[in-house]
Structure 1
Amino acid sequence: MNTLRSDFQKGQTLLDYFYYWEKQQPKKVYLRQPQGDRYLDFTWRAVGKQARTLATYLNSLGLPPKSNIGLLSKNCAHWIIADLAILLSGHVSVPFYPTLTANQLRQVLDHSDCSVLFVGKLDKWDEMKTGVPYSLHCIAFPAESLSGGQPDPDHAQWADILARFEPMTDNPQPHSDDLFTIVYTSGTIGNPKGVKMPYKAMISAIDATKPLMHVDVPEPRFFSYLPLCHIAERNMVEALSLITGGTVYFVESMATFARNLATARPTHFLGVPRIWLKFQQNILAKLPQPQLDRLLKLPLVSGLVKRSLRVALGLNNARLILTGAAPTPVPLIRWFRQLGIHIQEAYGMTENLGVVSLMPPDTIRDGTVGKLYEGIQVKFDPITGELMTRSDWSMRGYFREPDMTAAALDSEGWLHTGDVGSLDEEGFLTIMGRVKEIYKTTKGEYVAPALIETGFSENSFVDQICVAVQQLPQPIALIVLSETGQKAEKDEVSQSLEETLNTLNPSLHTYQRVKKAVIVKEPWTVDNDMMTPSLKIRRKIIESRYQPKLQPWLEREETVIWEG
């Protein structure tokens, strides 16, 4: 049984936690990498040996102290090993999204001043490679992390490095003011920005959140599938696993997601809204809502049904279940609560390490994002309602962007989040949308699309939605159908969406009411640039894509329109 040591003191860095578990439980499995029906396991000792050897190699390159080292890979065991190697070598970890195009990759590589780049598990390396400067020194992950692929022969090889160099034996202690990482945002609007985070910010955030993170659960297990370069996954998986000494299970591919999750049975799990919607749709495809409702009303059967569904998802052992990165519809959270899956809403942003608020497990206020963590202050702009936060874990600034830094972080340390919010008398925080995503209709009224979009959350035919407002007299809902919707008859889908509009619109102001629901043909994905790598819609790109059609759609007679 493995529980967090009660004598861990405040002020520990992630490296301090790593040193402890590496020594305390060297033979315990830390990382589990799926390979078909089997797992490649890495003990704490093995992780330490590889990371320390790579750190020796990085130090042999003669780089300036505290150089920026890039990390480009999908989630896998070697991602965490490489990240630890960068920290052990005294350099700065700069991870990138593995879904970047060649041009996007070139932009962040040039901007970040990376001296070295780790290259790992990627779907389209041949296409991305053209975005890497020829002079940049690259280190290839080993073949066992690449799902059947081969490392680029032009790169320094992981296995060769392990064979030629000895692992460092000392335990470096970074200064609290040193940079721990530069985290590039997903670029919902404009180019990604490099958020600078010093060690002391991470230390403060760990100390503030640890009491609420179930760090003392026996045999902690984590499931890694969201991009590790995103602050939420890095906190929930890498940081928490290092703090607790737990085991990390990785997803092999999205095709094996369900099987990998069922094997992992995590004690801690983070799901973005899109994942929760997929879970719900998969359950309802096998157990339609009317049948599920009947079973849940039977006293002796209800408990068995709930447990079997939790087991089928792989969440039967979960002690902490979070949702974040984007608003999760309240009806969806309540639907899972009926199954005994209690999802806690979390709120934050990269610039404050994702640590602002968390829904208390025993005092739930649906429609809010919970209560503030201890140690964070908030206030609101009296005109726009913009939320500002101040804490010991705010960013140091944006890398090489002094003007952007000055606009986001004022002289008194207040971080301007760009989100519109409010705090009620009991301390619950509500987020109403982005300041830049509250648009004026041609009638002169302001509309927050995100709030309207939640009104479609109970319609199982809807997978993705974007409410378009700009340059229109009334909002239009652009909709991508779910798998259930794609299989249903068109008349059934149209009728269902009309019923949703008839239910939603009376609850809205006249100028907010959705005039048309348009079912678009093309799904919005990361590949077609209509979603960020963290699975949030790129609203401006979507609206631009359909802009020429919006007014003609608005003028048509039918309420539900099928594109093409």
Structure 2
Amino acid sequence: MISISGGASWGQVKVEEYFTDENTVRGNNNNMDYRLPLQQMQHNVANHPDQTWLHQPVDRQWYTYTWKQADTQARKIAQGLLSHGLVKGDKVAIIAKNSAEWFITDMAMMMAGLISVPIYPTANADNIKHVLSHSGAKAIFVGKLDSQDALASVLPDDMLSIAFPYPTLSCKANWNDWLAQYEPISELHEAQADDMFSLIYTSGSTGLAKGVIVTHKNVASSACSAAELMAGEDKTRLMSYLPLAHITERCVVALPSLYKACDIYFTESLEYFIEDVRYAKPTSFISVPRLWTKFQSQILAKVPNKKLQFLLKLPVMGKFVAKKIRTQLGLDEAKLFGSGSAPISPDVLRWYHALGISIGEGWGMTETSGLSCANMPFDYDHIGTIGTAQPCVEMKLSDEGEVLIRGDAVFKEYYNNPEATAAAFEDGWFKTGDKGEITADGSWKIIGRVKEQFKTSKGKYVAPVPIESSLGRNPDIEQVCVMGVGRSQPIALVVLGEGAEATIEREALSQQLNDTLASVNNELEPHQKLDHLIVVDEPWSIENGLLTPTLKLKREQLEARFSHYLTANLDEQLVWEKAS
């Protein structure tokens, strides 16, 4: 056992069985020794082969995989890949919603010495074509997709394609056929620490994605740090539902499940999401701001916030109501909650805390192998911050206030893009593009992206993220985007929660929104004050091109869609896009 510490007073952290003296990699930052992912997988198979790992619902029946069963399937899939002529170092894409087969395929590729190239299941044809071409992928696994059209239009005729055992695009090979046809591979590839583990394409809010090379050492260090956050739980249960093509799900859920030996539960479809969460009863639950605010809106659609807050303050009734809500969400046994991928309003976090759901905000990037900084263990006084650095990284601020980071979890280069790589580093530190602050007690705050600042017609720069977070104090506001290029003052576009107009009369709702606008403006500098709050009708989504696959705002697309408001002469402070 050894002790490790993060870059910002993490203190002593106990690290147990997933660190070893044999076949280990020594981190250059914190003297960390850790097994690489496939080594840890084999450790689990050897030490508790019959312990459950993966839980997959199919047609409302649950199927369970032990470590040994998953290992056997992965060895067979690895043999199938090698039997089709793939060799060490070849790239293999995966485009699929989360499933047990996704996890097993990841293991199979490590066993065969291949490189996984995950693609978002919601990716459009241009992005799929770019990733397949740029990566040089030799094969692709295809799973559940909401629409098969984009992939079908760009999938090369000569590419080996393997279908997961779900209704999906017709492929050259089938998962179940390979399991029946091939014997398990006996000799596993032994990766080196600095070998490429995966080629991950950033979701990107603009343009085509860059390929980030993450190594076995990168993900091992990140996954070990994330697993340590769950230390103390006898048997951890996690939901895997955020896209596995994104680094967060891979390095905060999938890979840590190796190092903590967790139970992983999947969901069959969006229709059954809450039902599947209730079945799993996760002990830890990670989500993104868009979904946390969506859950909040669904709760408020059943009980107005004013009534809910009154009930929560009653000594006995408050605990009963909070527990009932947690139970309905399937989160009654969860002890650790997280939010990442984008900023979340501190007021939303305080609202959830009153329900007994204490959400620690985290921060990280594809280039930093996922979670790099987190308010975990949760500290109420650190709401509004991303807490302190994880043991696998060091962080500091540049003279301009940009967050710089280095460490075992930080990537070394973009794939076939030396110019972008050179521009991304400064004296060995990765330039994140995020503007940050450090509080007096050492906690970190992210106050926006360097490039998200815009200049008003008065020549003043405005950072939108802090203003958006402040508007989030109104629980009826579900989505918000502040813009203002060319205007004398910024404006805010908001989307209301699904229950707001159904449960509150337009006049009362208008007054509430005007009060929120006035409250926020009172806290802003003169050049930041919002001229108008514009209530738009259509929610922003991946499907209408206004959110990234990780549910971040696509600001350029939002500004293009609503550019008429940047030049319009508006009479009222509160503007409704849809008339009452």
Tell me, yes or no, whether TM beats 0.5: yes
Counterpart pick for 2:532 among 501, 516, 527: 516
Contact 2:148–2:169, Cα closer than 8 Å, also in 1: no
Give the 3-state SS of the residue equivalent to 1:82 in structure 2.
helix
Which residue of structure 2 lines up, in the alignment, with residue 102 of structure 1? 125
Residue 360 of structure 1, CA deviation? 3.8
Q: Does 1:332 align with 2:348?
A: yes
Q: Does 1:61 align with 2:75?
A: no
Task: State the distance in 2 between where 1:83 and 1:7 align.
Answer: 19
Q: Does 1:559 align with 2:573?
A: yes
Between 1:479-488 and 1:105-114, the stretch displaced more is 479-488
Contact 1:460–1:484, Cα closer than 8 Å, also in 2: no
Residue 297 of structure 1, CA deviation? 2.6
Task: State the distance in 2 between where 1:456 and 1:210 align.
Answer: 34
Task: State the distance in 2 between where 1:208 and 1:379 align.
Answer: 19
Contact 1:449–1:469, Cα closer than 8 Å, also in 2: no
Task: State the distance in 2 between where 1:251 and 1:138 align.
Answer: 24
Structure 2: which amino acid aligns with 1:453? E
Q: Which has the higher contact order (CA 8 A, sep 6+)?
A: 2
Residue 305 of structure 1, CA deviation? 2.5
Which residue of structure 1 lines up, in the alignment, with residue 269 of structure 2? 253
Q: Deviations over 1:413-459 (max 9, x none)?
A: 21000000122332111111000001111100010111111122122
Which residue of structure 2 lines up, in the alignment, with residue 174 of structure 1? 191
Give the 3-state SS of the residue equivalent to 1:478 in structure 2.
strand
Contact 2:236–2:284, Cα closer than 8 Å, also in 1: yes
Give the 3-state SS of the residue equivalent to 1:326 in structure 2.
coil
Structure 1: which amino acid aligns with 2:84? L
Which residue of structure 1 lines up, in the alignment, with residue 519 of structure 2? 503
Task: State the distance in 1 between where 2:243 and 2:226 align.
Answer: 21
Structure 2: gaps spanning 5 or more residues: 1-14, 21-32
Contact 2:195–2:215, Cα closer than 8 Å, also in 1: yes
Task: State the distance in 2 between where 1:49 and 1:424 align.
Answer: 49
Structure 1: which amino acid aligns with 2:430? L
Q: Does 1:445 align with 2:468?
A: no
Counterpart pick for 1:83 among 98, 106, 109: 106
Residue 221 of structure 1, CA deviation? 0.8
Counterpart pick for 1:368 among 385, 397, 404: 385
Residue 35 of structure 1, CA deviation? 2.6
Q: Does 1:156 align with 2:173?
A: yes
Name the TM-score, length of structure 1 as normaliser: 0.93
Task: State the distance in 2 between where 1:99 and 1:56 align.
Answer: 29
Which residue of structure 1 lines up, in the alignment, with residue 9 of structure 2? none
Structure 2: which amino acid aligns with 1:450? V
Q: Does 1:349 align with 2:372?
A: no
Task: State the distance in 1 between where 2:537 and 2:52 align.
Answer: 46
Counterpart pick for 2:424 among 391, 403, 408: 408
Structure 1: which amino acid aligns with 2:240? S
Which residue of structure 1 lines up, in the alignment, with residue 407 of structure 2? 391
Residue 463 of structure 1, CA deviation? 1.8
Counterpart pick for 2:487 among 449, 461, 472: 472
Task: State the distance in 1 between where 2:365 and 2:18 align.
Answer: 30
Residue 292 of structure 1, CA deviation? 2.4
- How has the CA–CA distance of structure 1 residues 7 and 451 changed in structure 2, closer, same or farther, with 3 Å as cutoff? closer
Task: State the distance in 1 between where 2:187 and 2:232 align.
Answer: 28
Counterpart pick for 1:201 among 213, 218, 234: 218
Task: State the distance in 1 between where 2:565 and 2:347 align.
Answer: 31
Between 1:420-429 and 1:225-234, the stretch displaced more is 420-429
- How has the CA–CA distance of structure 1 residues 336 and 253 changed in structure 2, closer, same or farther, with 3 Å as cutoff? same
Residue 281 of structure 1, CA deviation? 1.9
Task: State the distance in 2 between where 1:360 and 1:49 align.
Answer: 36
Residue 493 of structure 1, CA deviation? 3.0
Q: Does 1:115 align with 2:138?
A: yes
Structure 1: gaps spanning 5 or more residues: none
Contact 1:176–1:199, Cα closer than 8 Å, also in 2: yes
Residue 108 of structure 1, CA deviation? 1.3
- How has the CA–CA distance of structure 1 residues 6 and 45 changed in structure 2, closer, same or farther, with 3 Å as cutoff? closer
Q: Deviations over 1:262-315 (max 9, x none)?
A: 111111211111111122222222233233233323323333222222222222
- How has the CA–CA distance of structure 1 residues 205 and 267 changed in structure 2, closer, same or farther, with 3 Å as cutoff? same
Contact 1:183–1:196, Cα closer than 8 Å, also in 2: yes
Q: Deviations over 1:60-115 (max 9, x none)?
A: 22234211111110111111111111111101111110001112211111111111
Structure 1: which amino acid aligns with 2:198? T
Residue 24 of structure 1, CA deviation? 2.7
Residue 472 of structure 1, CA deviation? 1.5
Give the 3-state SS of the residue equivalent to 1:291 in structure 2.
helix
Name the TM-score, length of structure 2 as normaliser: 0.91
Task: State the distance in 2 between where 1:548 and 1:302 align.
Answer: 46
Contact 2:18–2:259, Cα closer than 8 Å, also in 1: no
Structure 2: which amino acid aligns with 1:339? L
Between 1:481-490 and 1:119-128, the stretch displaced more is 481-490
Task: State the distance in 2 between where 1:166 and 1:376 align.
Answer: 41
Counterpart pick for 2:63 among 31, 40, 51: 40
Task: State the distance in 1 between where 2:468 and 2:406 align.
Answer: 30
- How has the CA–CA distance of structure 1 residues 160 and 374 changed in structure 2, closer, same or farther, with 3 Å as cutoff? closer
- How has the CA–CA distance of structure 1 residues 362 and 498 changed in structure 2, closer, same or farther, with 3 Å as cutoff? closer
Q: Aligned Cα RMSD in Å?
A: 1.8
Give the 3-state SS of the residue equivalent to 2:245 in structure 1.
coil
Which residue of structure 2 lines up, in the alignment, with residue 425 of structure 1? 440
Residue 216 of structure 1, CA deviation? 4.2
Contact 1:479–1:518, Cα closer than 8 Å, also in 2: yes
Task: State the distance in 2 between where 1:206 and 1:549 align.
Answer: 44
Structure 2: which amino acid aligns with 1:164? Q
Q: Does 1:264 align with 2:280?
A: yes
Structure 2: which amino acid aligns with 1:461? D
- How has the CA–CA distance of structure 1 residues 7 and 446 changed in structure 2, closer, same or farther, with 3 Å as cutoff? closer
